[in-house]
Amino acid sequence: MTAVLRMPAPARANLPGHRVVLGTEHELRLDCGIEFGPFALAYQTYGTLNAQRSNAVLVCHALTGDQFVAEEHPVTGKPGWWSTMVGPGRPLDTERYYIICANVLGGCMGTAGPMETNPATGKPYGLDFPVITVADMVRSQKMLIDHLGIERLFCVTGGSMGGMQALQWAAMYPEHVFAAVPIASAARHSAQNIAFHEVGRQAIVADPDWCGGDYLSQGKRPQRGLAVARMAAHITYLSEAALHRKFGRSLQDRQKVTYGFDADFQVESYLRYQGSTFVDRFDANSYLYITRAMDYFDLAAEHGGVLSRAFTGTKVRFCLVSFTSDWLFPTRESREIVHALNAAMANVSFVEIETDKGHDAFLLDEPELDKVLKGFLAGCAEHAGLDR
Amino acid sequence: MTAVLRMPAPARANLPGHRVVLGTEHELRLDCGIEFGPFALAYQTYGTLNAQRSNAVLVCHALTGDQFVAEEHPVTGKPGWWSTMVGPGRPLDTERYYIICANVLGGCMGTAGPMETNPATGKPYGLDFPVITVADMVRSQKMLIDHLGIERLFCVTGGSMGGMQALQWAAMYPEHVFAAVPIASAARHSAQNIAFHEVGRQAIVADPDWCGGDYLSQGKRPQRGLAVARMAAHITYLSEAALHRKFGRSLQDRQKVTYGFDADFQVESYLRYQGSTFVDRFDANSYLYITRAMDYFDLAAEHGGVLSRAFTGTKVRFCLVSFTSDWLFPTRESREIVHALNAAMANVSFVEIETDKGHDAFLLDEPELDKVLKGFLAGCAEHAGLDR
C-alpha cells in the first residue's frame, strides 16, 4: 500500500493492522465542502465475517480512542480499550460477530489526519487538514464497509463520540444498519461540553511548542498544552463520587501536606499521570480536530431542528444506554433521543444504569452494560435471522 | 505608611483604600511553621463603626475576589463584586453595619502575596512566598480586627472560599464572632475541586512565561496559562442549565459554522473573554497560592477528623446557604456542616436556594439570598442588642 509511505510520523510507521486507501475513484465530499481523497483509513477486525456477510458489528471509538479495541495497544502496551466487551463469549462475541473498528478521520493512529503528510506540500498537514464532522467520519466508515463488501451492518455501537457516530449511521444510512447501540451519548454537544473542549484547545494553542499547528515540521510537540487539555477533560469523564471513593483527600506517599506545589494529594498525582501518559500516544492537532467535530455535532439541526425527522420511517432497532453519574452526557440527553425515536415510531429500548463511575463507565467493568448489550444483540440476531 | 513603598508592582502602586502593616510586634505564625511579618494587609470599609464597636461585619472574599466589595474596581472599572449585597438599605446595610473586607493573604491587591517585594532579596517573592492556608488568612484578619479595636465581629460572611474563612473564624475565634454566614461553601475541599485547581495550576506552570515563578523579575507574565486556568475554573462556577440558557449552541456573529478553530459558538467567545480579561487584574502566582490554600482546607482534620469538634460549645449563630445548581460546592457539603453544628448543639439555620445559576449564584442577583441574609441578620441584631 502506497499510503504507508505517505505517513511521516515515526511513531506511526509500523502500526500493526489493516490500512486501506479509500476515495481513489470517488473522493469523499466533506461537510466543509472539500472533496477529500484519496485518503487512508486504518482499522482492525476481530472474529470472522460469515458467508452472508451479515454478522458485521462496527464499533465506533470515542475522542481519544482508536482501532485497537480488543488487543494490546501498540504504543502503550495496555489492553484494548473495550477488551471487556469484545472477545470470545463477551457481549460483542467474536465467535459470533465480525467486529470492525476504524480509527476516525482526523485521528492519529494511521487514518488520515493532521499528522499525515499533505501531498500538496510534502509536509504534515497541520491546520491545512480540513475540519471534519461526525458525519464525515461516518461517510468514511461507509466507504470502508463498501470496500469490505458488507451491504448491511448487523450493528453499529460506541460510547460518547462513538455513540454520536452510531446515531449518525442510523440517520444517514438506515438501510445499511440493522441495529444501533449509542451509549453515554447525545444528539448534540451541549454548551458546557463545547466549553470544556474549548479550554482544552486553548491549552494546546497556548503552548509555544504548538507553533501555529506546524510543530511536526519544526521538530516540536506541544506536550504541556496537550497534557493540560487531557487533565481538564479527564475530570469530566469521572464523577465526583468516583473521585471521592478513589482518592478523597488522601495524600500521595506522605503523612502531611508539604506546604508547596508538589502533588501532595493522590488526585493531583493521578491527574498529572493521566496528562503525561496521554501525550505519548496522542497528537495535539488531532485533539483539536476531533473535539471540533464533536462540538459541531447536532443531528436535529441537519433535519430542520426536529430530531425525530432524522429517523422518520427508520427500521433500525435502537438500544440506548446512559449512566446515572455521567454528567458529561447525562441521562436526559439519551432520553431526548428516545423521545425523538418514539415520535418517529422507531423500535427503541433504553436503559439507565446505576453507577458512580461517571461518563467513563462505558469503558469500565460494568456488568449491567454487558448484560444489556448481550440481551439486546441476541434478540436482534434472532430477528435478523443470524445463524449461530 | 512605609508599606506602600515596599510594593513593587506598578499596577498596584496607586490602589485606593486602606493598607496597614501588621505583625510588627508579634509576627504571624503560619501553619507552615514560618513566622511571617511585618506584612501589609489592604482593606476597605463601608458604613460607620458604632460607639460600642459592635456592628462590624467582616466580608471574606472568594478565590479571585478582593477588598473592593461595593465600589468601582480600581483596575477593571466594574462595580464591586458584592454591590448587590452591600450598601444603604441592602442586606449588608451600610447605614446599620460597618462592613470590612480585606484582600486575603497571598492575594494581589495590596495585601502581602507573591507579587510583593521580598525584603530579604529586594525582588518580588514569587515562589519564595510562604504557602498559606485559610486559617492563616483568618489569623491575619484577626490581627486587622484587633488593630481596628474591634473585640467582637457582629458577623463574618462570604461565599465559596469566603465561606471557608467564615467557618474558620467561627471555629478559631468563637468568642469574637456573634454570627457566621458561610454561603456556597464546604468544610473541606473535595477531590474533584482539588483536581480542577490542579489543572489550573498546571496550565500556569506550563506557560514558559511563568519562568519558574520568577516572571515579574524577568519582565514577563504567564498570561496564556492564567487565561486557560480561568477558563477551566469559570465553567465550574456556572451550571449546565445556565450555560444552556445563556448560550445553548448559538453561534457568535455568524449564520453558519466556519469549519475552523475560531470561536464559532457564543460560549467559546464568552470563555475566551473571561480568560483574557482576568489576566489584567490577577496575578498568576497568587492564583497558585490561593487555590492551594483552598485545597488544604479541611476543618475536621484540624479536630481529629470530627467536624463537630470544631464547634464544641460554640455560641456563634450560623446561617448556611447553598444553591441547588451549584456542583462545585453542592448542597450536601453545606448539609454536612449543618449536621456537625447540630451535633455540637449550635444555633444553626440552613437554606437551600432553588436557582440555575450554579456556584456563582452568590455573586449574582438572587433575591432569596438577599431575603435570607436580611432576615437572619435582623434577628441576630436583635439578640445582639444592636441599636438601630
* Structural domains of chain A in order of their starting residue, each with its CATH number: 2-192+299-384 (3.40.50.1820), 196-292 (1.10.1740.110)
Residue of A201, A228, A289 to mutate when probing chain B, most B C-beta within 10 A: A228
Give chain B's mean pLDDT: 95
Question: What is the C-alpha to C-alpha distance for residues B184 and B334, in angstroms, rounded to an integer?
Answer: 7
Selecting among B54, B140, B160, B334, the annotated active-site residue is: B160
Residue of A129, A131, A189, A194 to mutate when probing chain B, most B C-beta within 10 A: A194
- Tabulate helix, strand, coil % of chain A (nearest 5): 40, 15, 45
Q: Which residue, chain included where needed, has cell 423500535?
A: A347
User: How far lies A364's CA from each of A85, A355, A378, B295, in Å?
Assistant: 9, 11, 22, 29
Task: Give the model's pLDDT for residue B12.
Answer: 65
Helix (H, G, I), strand (E, B) or coil at A33: coil
Which residues fall within 8 angstroms of residue A92, CB to CB, at 6 or more apart?
Answer: A57, A59, A82, A85, A86, A99, A157, A373, A377
Question: What is the C-alpha to C-alpha distance for residues B203 and A181, in angstroms, rounded to an integer?
Answer: 37
Contact by Cβ (8 Å): B59, B162? yes
Question: What is the C-alpha to C-alpha distance for residues A158 and B138, in angstroms, rounded to an integer?
Answer: 51
Cell of B300: 475536621
CA distance B20 to chain A (A): 26
Question: What is the C-alpha to C-alpha distance for residues B131 and B120, in angstroms, rounded to an integer?
Answer: 17
Q: How confident is the model at residue B388 (pLDDT cuts 50, 70, 90)?
A: low
Task: Give the model's pLDDT for residue A388.
Answer: 61
Question: What is the C-alpha to C-alpha distance for residues A159 and A329, in angstroms, rounded to an integer?
Answer: 10
Contact by Cβ (8 Å): A301, A164? no
Question: What is the C-alpha to C-alpha distance for residues A194 and B151, in angstroms, rounded to an integer?
Answer: 51
CA distance A289 to chain B (A): 9
φ, ψ dihedrals at A89, nearest 5°: 80, -5
Mean pLDDT by 10 residues, chain A (388 residues): 33 82 96 96 98 97 98 95 97 98 98 93 96 98 98 98 98 98 98 98 98 96 98 97 96 94 96 96 98 98 96 98 98 98 98 97 96 97 87
User: How far lies A115's CA from each of A40, A125, A135, in Å?
Assistant: 12, 6, 21
Q: Read out DSSP for B18-76? A: EEEEE-SSS-EE-TTS-EE-SEEEEEEEES---TTS--EEEEE--TT--S-SSS--TTT
Q: What ipTM, to 2 d.p.?
A: 0.94
The model's pLDDT over B248-306, given as tens digits with 9 standing for 90+, comes to: 999 999 999 999 999 999 999 999 999 999 999 999 999 999 999 999 999 999 999 99
Question: What is the C-alpha to C-alpha distance for residues A309 and A290, in angstroms, rounded to an integer?
Answer: 26
Task: Give the model's pLDDT for residue A205.
Answer: 98
**Are residues B248 and A127, on separate chains, in Cβ contact within 8 Å?**
no
| CA atoms B252, B257, B262, B263: torsion sign | positive
Q: How confident is the model at residue B13 (pLDDT cuts 50, 70, 90)?
A: low
φ, ψ dihedrals at A181, nearest 5°: -125, 85
Which residues fall within 8 angstroms of residue A105, CB to CB, at 6 or more apart?
Answer: A39, A41, A111, A112, A113, A132, A136, A137, A140
CB < 8 Å to B203, chain A: 203, 206, 228
Query: How many residue pairs bridge chain A and chain B with CB atoms within 8 Å of each other?
Result: 156
Task: Give the model's pLDDT for residue A53.
Answer: 97
Residue of A222, A224, A206, A227 lying closest to B275 (CA atoms): A206
The model's pLDDT over B67-113, given as tens digits with 9 standing for 90+, comes to: 999 999 999 999 999 999 999 999 999 999 999 999 999 999 999 99
Q: A266: nearest CA in chain B?
A: B191
**Are residues A249 and B191, on separate chains, in Cβ contact within 8 Å?**
yes
φ, ψ dihedrals at B145, nearest 5°: -65, -40
Which residues fall within 8 angstroms of residue A373, CB to CB, at 6 or more apart?
Answer: A85, A91, A92, A157, A181, A319, A321
CB < 8 Å to A292, chain B: 261
CA distance B82 to chain A (A): 26
Q: Which of A64-68, B4-8, B357-361 has the lowest mean pLDDT?
A: B4-8
- A183 forms beta bridges with A159, A321
Task: Give the model's pLDDT for residue B228.
Answer: 98
Written as one letter, the residue type at A293 is A
**Are residues B206 and A202, on separate chains, in Cβ contact within 8 Å?**
no
Q: How confident is the model at residue B9 (pLDDT cuts 50, 70, 90)?
A: very low
Residue of B36, B194, B254 to mutate when probing chain A, most A C-beta within 10 A: B194
Alpha-helical regions (H) of chain A? 134-147, 161-172, 191-205, 223-237, 240-246, 266-281, 284-296, 331-343, 367-384
Q: What pTM, to 2 d.p., does this model score?
A: 0.95
- By Cβ distance, the residue of B224, B232, B247 closest to A191 is B247
Asked whether the predicted pLDDT for residue B369 surpasses 50, the reply is yes
Reported as type and span, the H/E element at residue B183 is strand B177-183
**Are residues B195 and A267, on separate chains, in Cβ contact within 8 Å?**
yes
CA distance B238 to chain A (A): 9
CA distance B228 to chain A (A): 6
Selecting among B66, B93, B207, B326, the annotated active-site residue is: B326
CB < 8 Å to B32, chain A: 259
**Are residues B206 and A208, on separate chains, in Cβ contact within 8 Å?**
no
Cell of A194: 463545547
